[in-house]
Amino acid sequence: MSFRHAAHAALADTQMRTNLHHATRTIRARRQEAVGEVAGWEPLRTEGARIKDEALASLDVQLETLEAAVTAAGGRVHWARDGAEACAIVTRLVQAEGVHEVVKVKSLATDEIHLNEALAMAGIAAIETDLAELIVQLAHDRQSHILVPAIHRNRAEIRDLFRRTIGPADLSDDPAELAETARLHLRERFLRARVGISGANFAVAETGTVCVVESEGNGRMCTTLPETLITVMGIEKLIPRWQDLGTMLTLLPRSSTGERMSPYTSLWTGVTAGDGPRAFHLVLLDAGRTDVLADPVGREALRCIRCSACLNVCPVYEHVGGHAYESIYPGPIGAILAPQLARMEQHADLPFASSLCGACADVCPVKIDIPRLLVHLRGRANEQGGHRAQQTTMRLLRGVLSSRRRYELAQRAARHGRGVLHRTWQHGPLGAWNDSRELPEVPAQSFRDWWRTRP
């Protein structure tokens, strides 16, 4: 389905839009406050961007450094060219442990490659332990936000879902009671799990340390209780040095949840005897990322640290929600990441799903110039063809605008042929304009005519 059609359906869902408006407005205010506290926020953003650019510029070498460090600390590193390869590696590792159930930390990388589905095919149940992910999983729903996957749901809807699935029939919509229901359901699974699966927010090349931030403590459970821990990370998550973590861990929580630091910041380096998992596997996922690196403009999208600040300020996202993007990466960052990670034709309309208002670029903690990338990707989408009508229109317009005589003729024609223009506009390809607004009046005299005749 195209974005336009998916958006049409989303716009009709008034409940979802109310939920989303309320939620994004709240997070926006929290972020604003948390960012406002930091005196040197702008230099910090610049430093964040620099760190990611440095990592990306030398990614091949850095990844080998990371591999060496992880291996030296007793972990094992696996390289996956694409999602299928990563899924196969994880499946094999889980099967080797002889289990049919794994607990999972919220992870976009594993969602991107549909790991849960792949594990299910092998008879392995992957249990999402993040509350919102659990809600999505229990409802057989789709995520609609990077940080808050069930942002499109309200409390009453979640109460009804829990009553149907994991909770008592008299469950109320009190948040504490809802959380307790999930906690009881999950606790049992944490305790019996022998394999945990996570993503990574950052991986430090020089030390081999992996970092996951989260709010609920479920991640800490998954990464410490099971005997085997498998982490799947996109290769762009790498940062070169330990000290870079300081910058990143200031930028991420404030941009993301509007907190000074996340309630749980878990860091681990390989394995430690007598503490935590006995085996640690790090799966390095490419899945299109090296192709993105090859585009000197588009590669800036790989700086993304998945904070979702851009979603929360985006007016397009606020009105249509995450599902309309049909990607695990929705909103402004999704519009530049999804078409690059997948084949362009799959999400070719996403770069056009923006008014280029720039609110996203203003809040991005690693200064991704999202509007610029959108425009760049529009160009790439145009090159792929399928936009012939628009191409012709643009050529014609350029012709008109390249000559004073033709430009003034067109102005005069618009003035005299107003009725015709109006009808063409209403019924032609531009007719959609007319659904919610009138065409501007054509003035009786153009500015330049006034200019020429003024005393």
Partner 1 sequence: MRLLERLGHEVVFPVQQTCCGQLHANSGFESDGLALARRFVRVFGGADVVVAPSGSCVAMVREQYPRLAETSGDAHLLGEVRAHAPRVYELSELLVGVLGVEDVGASYPHRVTYHASCHGLRSLRIGDAPLRLLRAVRGIELVELDEAEACCGFGGTFAVKNAEVSGAMLAAKLERIAATGAELCTAGDDSCLMQIGGGLRRQGARARTVHLAEILASTEGVT
* Contacting residues toward partner 1, per CB under 8 A: 3-4, 7-8, 11, 315-316, 319-320, 351-359, 361-362, 372, 375-382, 390-391, 394-395, 397-398, 400-404, 407, 429-430, 432-433, 435-440, 447-448, 451-452
Q: Which is nearer to partner 1, 21 or 100 (CB)?
A: 21
368/332 Cα distance (integer angstroms):
11
Q: Which is nearer to partner 1, 205 or 314 (CB)?
A: 314
188 to each of 29, 127, 191, 221, how far by Cα in Å?
36, 12, 5, 11
State the minimum distance, in angstroms, from the CB of residue 17 to partner 1.
Answer: 8
Neighbouring C-beta atoms of residue 309, cutoff 10 Å: 30
Q: Which is nearer to partner 1, 240 or 321 (CB)?
A: 321
State the minimum distance, in angstroms, from the CB of residue 407 to partner 1.
Answer: 5
Q: Which is nearer to partner 1, 162 or 317 (CB)?
A: 317
6/2 Cα distance (integer angstroms):
6
State the minimum distance, in angstroms, from the CB of residue 426 to partner 1.
Answer: 13
Q: Which is nearer to partner 1, 106 or 376 (CB)?
A: 376
Q: Which is nearer to partner 1, 5 or 192 (CB)?
A: 5
State the minimum distance, in angstroms, from the CB of residue 351 to partner 1.
Answer: 8
Q: Which residues contact 250 (CB under 8 A, 6 or more apart)?
A: 38, 44
State the minimum distance, in angstroms, from the CB of residue 20 to partner 1.
Answer: 12
State the minimum distance, in angstroms, from the CB of residue 248 to partner 1.
Answer: 25
Q: Which is nearer to partner 1, 151 or 320 (CB)?
A: 320
Sign of CA dihedral 65, 247, 269, 259: negative
Q: Which is nearer to partner 1, 140 or 398 (CB)?
A: 398
State the minimum distance, in angstroms, from the CB of residue 437 to partner 1.
Answer: 3
Q: Residue 122 burial by CB count (10 A; 0-12/13-18/19+): exposed, middle or buried?
A: middle
State the minimum distance, in angstroms, from the CB of residue 180 to partner 1.
Answer: 36
| Tokens coding 265 | 């910041």
Q: Which is nearer to partner 1, 79 or 352 (CB)?
A: 352
Q: Which is nearer to partner 1, 178 or 353 (CB)?
A: 353
| Tokens coding 354 | 């923006």
Q: Which is nearer to partner 1, 272 or 424 (CB)?
A: 424
| Tokens coding 68 | 């060496």
State the minimum distance, in angstroms, from the CB of residue 305 to partner 1.
Answer: 21
State the minimum distance, in angstroms, from the CB of residue 447 to partner 1.
Answer: 8
292/274 Cα distance (integer angstroms):
41
232/304 Cα distance (integer angstroms):
17
State the minimum distance, in angstroms, from the CB of residue 356 to partner 1.
Answer: 6
State the minimum distance, in angstroms, from the CB of residue 428 to partner 1.
Answer: 10
| Tokens coding 23 | 């939620």
Place of tokens 């003024």: 454
Is 363 in contact with 310 (CB distance < 8 Å)? yes
Q: Which is nearer to partner 1, 275 or 435 (CB)?
A: 435
Please report, in angstroms and rounded to a whole number, the separation of the first and last CA atoms in the chain: 58
